[in-house]
A and B are shown apart, each in its own frame.
Chain A
């Protein structure tokens, strides 16, 4: 072009030039995670603001008497079960990073059995989804148990804030599981390699964030009285 053929001719058309050299989707997912911080901040502060303001039981930690049956009950939260589900979610995060690593290192040769196992992206994607589903199972169990003990989303302030907060988290986990299963399906169709690492990475970032949120919820809602 007469105008000015300068050294920086536009990049080859099939590659997208970006200012930072980072992929747009990764920038976007981090922005999204930042936004999610405010979302859960609102939910968590609401739970804490209403903590101890319920007019009727059940309460999270303090004992209460059922007005109908007149029987005295303990605080409704079931720490052992939740500890287990918390552990499950943590492990799902571990599986997730292993899945990502496996995808990134697809090209490397696998010598030992161990390397072969560690290197199986399908295995770890599946494990992550499985553990995520297990967590959801625990939550379903917890919710039904609470309903049986007389705590619904309508019962009192605690019920409303608790179910909404943990429910929102559960919804995030569900979305994550669907995402993972989609990746798994693609992986089965055409094995995911380093070229796809970014797609897995983005999903992983989301998944870990959901885990991180649970770390906060577990302490603020379950452990602190």
Chain B
């Protein structure tokens, strides 16, 4: 490949360019892993919907947090395995998590400002 021609170069982003890339070939999970992940995702989804129909649970304060946690779990699993961020070059991890963090913080800030959450904070 092209970068074989150039010396391992000191650019931070290039660190482990080879290894990470090589890793991409070797450690790559098998089809079976993917199927297992798929099953897990399905299970979580089932639990989510199930929870939705337990009235007592819906009323409880645990409802929203647990739903959020479950969807976050699914989110992470898909990103880590299906989008193989877990195995890929760390540059991509930054390119994704950075913006994601800003996006999440912005959503939360806006919801507070509009009094949708923690309405004791913002006057609206």
A-to-B contact residues, CB < 8 Å? 7-9, 11-12, 15-22, 26-27, 30-31, 33-35, 37-38, 40-41, 44-45, 48-49, 51, 79, 83, 86-87, 90-91, 93-94, 96-98, 101, 104, 118, 204-205, 208-209, 211-212, 215-216, 218-220, 223-225
Q: Which residues from B are CB-within-8-Å of A26? A: 92
B-to-A contact residues, CB < 8 Å? 1-3, 5-7, 9, 11, 13-14, 17-18, 21, 28, 30-31, 34-35, 37-38, 41-42, 45, 48-49, 51-52, 58, 63-64, 67-68, 70-71, 74-75, 78-79, 81-83, 89, 91-92, 95-96, 98-100, 102-104, 106-107, 110-111, 114, 116
A118 CB, min distance to chain B CBs, angstroms = 5
Could you give 24 example pairs across A and B, Cβ below 8 Å? A8-B6, A11-B5, A15-B2, A18-B2, A20-B11, A20-B91, A21-B2, A26-B92, A30-B92, A33-B96, A37-B103, A38-B102, A38-B106, A79-B49, A83-B49, A93-B82, A94-B35, A97-B31, A97-B34, A204-B82, A211-B78, A215-B78, A219-B68, A225-B58
Q: How far, in whole Å, are A223 and B71 apart by their CA atoms in the complex?
A: 11
Interface contact tally, CB-CB below 8 A: 155
Q: How far, in whole Å, are A16 and B74 apart by their CA atoms in the complex?
A: 37
Are A19's CB and B9's CB within 8 A? yes
Supposing A83-B45, A215-B75, A219-B71 touch, asked if A97 and B9 sit within 8 A by C-beta, the answer is no
